[in-house]
Amino acid sequence: MKAIRIYEPGGPEKLIYEEVPTPQLREGWSLVKVLGFGINHSEIFTRKGQSPSVKFPRILGIECVGVIEDSTDEERLPAGQQVISIMGEMGRAFDGGYAEYALLPNEQIYPVETTLAVASWAAMPETYYTAFGSMTNLHLTDGNISGLSVLVRGATSGVGVAFVRLLKAYDQKVHVTGTSRNASKAELLKAEGFDEVVIDQQNILQTEARYDRVLDLIGPAALRDTFSHMNEQAIVCCTGLLGGIWSLDRFDPLEDMPPNVYLTSFHSGNDPAARLQEMIDFVEHYGVDVTPAKVFSLPQVPEAHRYLESTGSFGKVVVVNQENNS
Ligand SMILES: NC(=O)c1ccc[n+]([C@@H]2O[C@H](COP(=O)([O-])OP(=O)(O)OC[C@H]3O[C@@H](n4cnc5c(N)ncnc54)[C@H](OP(=O)(O)O)[C@@H]3O)[C@@H](O)[C@H]2O)c1
């Protein structure tokens, strides 16, 4: 089969498109014919050598959508079953989704049913699931949310765009502000459904406004500034690390957090077995547009990484395996 393998950390040119042995079925694992996958920011970190536990050579890719080719659990994962795989140690401790086939542990393969086109389906696993889970933890998927003001920090990311699409499909009237470091992306953000755009300059928001709900994808690098923009009873969901800092130094909840606000987070390893289909059903029920911003082919993975790292990057980037879809 063809795959993208990395032998040493570095730039996108270190992602090598080559012929590799198709993995052989073994007990407790199944072989998935990969139809497509999203490119995630965490794979850029890993490619650069910033995931210390990942040993090279490795086929990266922390997610994929596809169908079961061969399985050791024929009852739950029969041949031809549509599946999503995310998280676990895929693309990290063992080879991942940047390939025509992926051998994966049965417990991290989730059967789903969908009629979505492959490019849209491939946009969903990590990105839409993370956006959907964050939306749930922000209490934005139940009841009347029309009067709320919502802020998305890191709005131009795949997760940021997915979040506003989900939110606006659920309730057009909720007021959503998105941030970017780059003013030239304001029109693109508005076209995605953001009502307002605020510039994030070195992790300081260029506004005095306060919000009822904040999805913070910049993370600890910006969190103290986020706290200064929250209304009473507001909730912040810290889901991302785009700022490149992984923890909040000397965090003192009593001193650092404004009074009467809530801090939560979401991790895509959180209960995908039960909730991936719920997310797909939500997308289909509310008619959420999950079309990715850019679609690449398997040999173009280095180009996809280059695009995601460029200053013009916007929204979800996916790869569709042409051979497996013809
Ligand atoms: N909790 C989970 O389970 C989970 C799951 C998936 C993703 N995530 C996290 O969610 C975040 C978004 O992921 P993604 O894959 O959607 O990202 P992505 O599409 O790769 O994000 C690209 C955007 O990141 C912004 N960005 C890049 N470097 C930045 C920096 N140093 N400071 C501020 N902004 C920066 C850029 O926005 P501008 O140029 O417009 O400012 C760019 O448009 C990541 O931190 C990822 O690790 C978490």
| pLDDT mean across residues, the chain | 95
Identical fold for domains 2-123+291-325 and 126-264, yes or no, is no
Token look-up 């990942």 returns 54
8 Å CB contact between 319 and 39: yes
Task: Tell me the best of 47, 128, 157, 217 to mutate to test the pocket of ligand 1, counting ligand atoms within 8 Å of each CB and taking the most.
Answer: 157
- Would you list the DSSP string of 282-300? HHHHHT-----SEEE-GGG
**The domain 2-123+291-325 is classified under which CATH number: 3.30.230.10, 3.90.180.10, 3.10.180.10, 3.40.30.10?**
3.90.180.10
Average pLDDT of the residues in 272-288? 91
CA distance 127 to 157: 9
Would you say residue 273 has pLDDT above 90?
no
Q: pLDDT grade, residue 272 (50/70/90)?
A: confident
Check residues 179 and 311 and name the one with the higher pLDDT.
179
- Percent of the chain past pLDDT 70, that is, above it, reads 100
Model pLDDT, residue 87: 81
Structural domain boundaries of the chain? 2-123+291-325, 126-264
Give the pLDDT confidence of 61-120 residue by residue, as tens digits. Answer: 999 999 999 999 999 999 999 999 998 899 999 999 999 999 999 999 999 999 999 999
Model pLDDT, residue 296: 98
Q: Is 130 in the pocket of ligand 1 (CB under 6 A)?
A: yes
Report the separation in Å between the CA atom of 282 and the middle of ligand 1, taken as the mean of its atom positions.
24
**Can you say whether the dihedral through the CA atoms of 111, 113, 119, 124 is positive or negative?**
negative
- Counting from 1 in the atom list of ligand 1, the atom nearest the Cα of 200 is 41
Model pLDDT, residue 323: 81
Would you say residue 271 has pLDDT above 90?
no
Check residues 144 and 153 and name the one with the higher pLDDT.
153
Tell me the CATH number for domain 126-264. Answer: 3.40.50.720
